[in-house]
Amino acid sequence: MDLINHLYLGFAVAFEPLNLFYCFLGVLIGTLVGVLPGLGPVAAMSLLLPATFHTTPVASIIMLAGIYYGAMYGGSTTSILVNIPGEAASVMTCLDGYQMARQGKAGRALGISAFGSFIAGSVGIIGLILIAPPLVDFALKFGPPEYFSLMVLGLTILTFLTSASMIRALMMAAFGLIVGTMGLDNISGLARFTFNIPELLDGVGLVPVVMGLFGISEVLLNIEMKVKREVFTTKVKGLLPTLQDWAQSTGAIIRGTVLGFFLGILPGGGAVIASFVSYAIEKKVSKHPEEFGKGAIQGVAAPEAANNSAAQGAFIPLLTLGIPSNVVMAMLLGALIIHGVTPGPLLLSQHPQLFWGVVVSMYVGNIMLLFLNLPLIGFWVQLLKVPYSILFPLIILFCLLGSYSINNSTTDVAIMLIFGVIGYLMKKISLEAAPMVLAFVLGPMMETALRQSLIKSKGSFSIFFTRPISATCLILAIALMVIPLLPWFRRPGIALESEDVK
Amino acid sequence: MAQRFFVWMGTAIFLLALVIPAAAQDYPNKPINLVIQYPPGGSTDLTARALAIGAKKYLGQPVVCENKAGGGGTVGVALVAAKPGDGYTIGIVTSSPTMAYHMGKLNFHPLNDLTPIMRWGNYLFGIVVRADSQWKTIQELLQYAKQNPEKISYGSPGVGTPPHLAMEEFSLVSGLKFTHIPAKGIAENNTALLGGHIDMVSDSSGWAPLVDAGKFRLLATWGEKRCARYPDAPTIKEAGYDVVARSHLGVIGPKGMPKPVVAKIADAFKKAMEDPEFVSVMKKFDMDHYYLGTEDYTKYMQSDFENIGKLVQKLGLDKK
């Protein structure tokens, strides 16, 4: 069978010593970059890109790809340990992962995160091999109207993210939308909310915002309560996930993988959105939604699986059509071109050993990552035993360095600190950050898609309903909003206002 | 006493004299940031990176590239303009900021707030449609446009970018109307065209791999003459409309850069243009070497400013 031959070729290429070495180097760097808050795979890849010129194209792509999906593994570590997302796609892991760490279950959270990532990554690769071409054709059908409707659907899903009050979640979402408008608008060319600060022309960065909202605010809160609070149960109840954990997480991992893969393929989609949506869906289908936000293991398994399979899915448009679906893929595109390989529909036929070599090495890389991350769990857990008075200055130091390193800009540090204070205040009056972040990510994409669609349709809103995919998403969104209001669907535990629960 | 004083004065002046020109001798003593104003992986990004890698050899310090995309290529330049003119932040520029300025969308002045360093390249811009589209030649497209005003939608890399302004100028000259859907770079345009969400794309040569793969068809190019790689595609000029997309690729810095620093950078980049890697990347994107030294480039920016000002006024796009 043709596929067997291809895989054989892929294994032959991937197991060449040079490629194995670069694969390991890539995933190692990726893990480190993921663990360190702020510095992301893009920065690491752009720094290392010139270094790859001296090797073969295959080796450099293998390494750069390894950095990308390796960062997805590493990003969850600080999310779980200290509530700081190492990567924007690890934000959702903070919600339950950190709570698990506080209950002494850090090892199990880290473990399920590593295993979930591995399973999702592997499935993602299989998906890439088997169903890439028809999937890409489907993804191409997503034009501005479809994106708009998908984003609307995404925003309605945020209503599932709330644990308490719907009104508050919507308030936070509105805040997120407003913050998302900051920057130079691409369609009209007008600068919005930039206060004449040039760095804000590009908008407020996602990474400083989440580092502030989740990480810094948590530190501030802990400092405030240090007299009363004992930070972490130093008694760690086991380093690996228990059988019960596995039983509970299986569904989450499967759902997260599938969702993440499809969202990763959509150009402009990606790991961040995938992690949010999978968390929300997991909460929705759970029999105990009130556990989410307090240390539900599914709340760790689902987003971690989603962000890894999204990372694999993101390769598909690049490898099949030569179209990068996000900034990381664009860097890979550049690397390919510099090496004389022109990505495009002809990549598979012209450079089969590159395509199959990279695909197989992604699987090899995932295995390496599993073996890299699991033994480290013991080490990370020990780190938690460090007294908080020593830990928190280090955390702040890493955050300051990390946020600066994104763009070599002190504006990012300032943004992180400002949102740290905002996040602290939000926590004091029980406003949740997750809906804000989701709206902040989806809002700009939604707005651009809306305006592009309306330009195309010359102002007619019917374009959203006459196109099948767009109409489906919108109807689904409306249904999701309306159904919980209907009396026979009203579930206990989901309140419109927190007073309602009584 | 007086003698002592003069000895000290003399020493002080001597030391000062060493320090001041040494400011240029010392430069560069740390890495230089090069701001690329388009997303990674595109033609600007890759050629600029190749140039930066070449320049490192002659400057002795790495030239670290960062991407700051947005605003059709103006965000990155704005960021450079806001930095101190010490030579450690420079950027890539095209004619886009000048266009944005005349359209009233720029909060800095492309001549007064920047120091021109040198010019190195020019894009290949073209009009592409899907390979399965009904228009096989540019004439067929124009014919259709004449009969169906505003029906054909086209993607550009942003408002005020050269491919956009070229289309606007073309509309003015030919009387044909199109619907403009701005995007944020060639990847978005490629995707939208592949999915059939827009009818054509007017953008720089990022569409080339898809043309080669048979997914897109190049209908015409926007240059003065036909391009070497696709000799079958006529220019818009040949099609009968005297419109040429004007742009260029240059290196600039914030205002007030000391002349010796500018000279050092210009010299390094000029030598880097001969680098085989740079030459091959430029060839891959069909971009022309388009060198001008600092003085000539300053004059070019001046005339570019005036010409574009007139064009924008003619097109009625100015907000003044």
pLDDT of residue B263: 93
Query: Which residues of chain B neighbour A322 with C-beta distances below 8 Å?
Result: 209-210, 213
pLDDT of residue B212: 84
In this complex, the residue of A188, A198, A338 whose CB is nearest that of residue B78 is A198
* DSSP β-bridge partners for residue A184: A191
Q: Domain B125-221's class?
A: alpha beta
Closest by alpha carbon to A477, among A258, A151, A255?
A151
The structural domains of chain B, with segments of one domain joined by +, span 31-122+247-314, 125-221
pLDDT digits (tens, 9 = 90+) for A364-386: 999 999 888 888 877 777 777 77
Higher pLDDT, A294 or A38: A294
**What whole-number distance in Å separates Cα of residue A80 and Cα of residue A99?**
8
pTM greater than 0.80 (yes/no): no
**A154 band by pLDDT with thresholds 50, 70 and 90:** confident
**What whole-number distance in Å separates Cα of residue A170 and Cα of residue A72?**
29
CA of B16 vs chain A CAs: smallest distance (Å)? 33
pLDDT digits (tens, 9 = 90+) for B20-30: 544 456 788 88
The total number of structural domains in chain A stands at: 1
Could A334 and B78 be called an inter-chain contact, meaning their C-beta atoms sit closer than 8 Å? no
Buried b / exposed e over A10-20, threshold 16 CB at 10 Å, is: beebbebeebb
DSSP designation for B235:
B
Higher pLDDT, B28 or B295: B295
pLDDT of residue A500: 44
Amino acid at the residue A349: S
pLDDT digits (tens, 9 = 90+) for A401-458: 888 877 667 888 999 999 999 999 998 888 888 888 888 888 888 898 899 999 888 8
Could B212 and A342 be called an inter-chain contact, meaning their C-beta atoms sit closer than 8 Å? yes
Do residues A235 and A271 lie in contact, with contact meaning Cβ atoms separated by under 8 Å? no
> If you count residue pairs, one on A and one on B, with CB atoms under 8 Å apart, how many are there?
153
pLDDT of residue B73: 77
Tokens 């992962």: give the residue. Answer: A97
pLDDT digits (tens, 9 = 90+) for A334-370: 778 777 787 777 787 788 888 888 888 888 999 999 8
Higher pLDDT, A231 or A92: A92
Query: Which residues of chain A neighbour B278 with C-beta distances below 8 Å?
Result: none
All residues at 6 or more sequence positions from B308 whose CB lies less than 8 Å from its CB, including other chains: B95, B98, B99, B102, B165, B246
CATH number of B31-122+247-314: 3.40.190.150
Amino acid at the residue A293: G
What value does the mean pLDDT take over residues B102-115? Answer: 86
CA of A53 vs chain B CAs: smallest distance (Å)? 10
pLDDT of residue B259: 92
**What whole-number distance in Å separates Cα of residue B96 and Cα of residue A18?**
43
What value does the mean pLDDT take over residues A386-409? Answer: 80
What value does the mean pLDDT take over residues A105-119? Answer: 88
CA of B111 vs chain A CAs: smallest distance (Å)? 18
**What whole-number distance in Å separates Cα of residue B87 and Cα of residue B56?**
14
Tokens 């003065």: give the residue. Answer: B224
Q: Do domains B31-122+247-314 and B125-221 have the same CATH topology?
A: yes
Percent of chain B with pLDDT over 70: 91
Could A344 and B197 be called an inter-chain contact, meaning their C-beta atoms sit closer than 8 Å? no
pLDDT of residue A335: 79
Quick check: A164 pLDDT over 70?
no
pLDDT of residue A102: 83
**What whole-number distance in Å separates Cα of residue A148 and Cα of residue A465?**
11
Of A154-163, A452-461, B179-188, B266-275, the poorest mean pLDDT is in: A154-163
Query: Which residues of chain A neighbour B64 with C-beta distances below 8 Å?
Result: 47
Query: Which residues of chain B neighbour A188 with C-beta distances below 8 Å?
Result: 159
**What whole-number distance in Å separates Cα of residue B210 and Cα of residue A347?**
11
pLDDT digits (tens, 9 = 90+) for A194-222: 887 767 777 888 888 988 888 888 888 88
pLDDT of residue A490: 56
Could B71 and A189 be called an inter-chain contact, meaning their C-beta atoms sit closer than 8 Å? yes
Could A196 and B107 be called an inter-chain contact, meaning their C-beta atoms sit closer than 8 Å? yes
Do residues A266 and A144 lie in contact, with contact meaning Cβ atoms separated by under 8 Å? no
> Where in the sequence is the domain holding A204, given as residue range(s)?
2-501
pLDDT digits (tens, 9 = 90+) for A115-128: 899 999 899 888 88
CA of B187 vs chain A CAs: smallest distance (Å)? 6
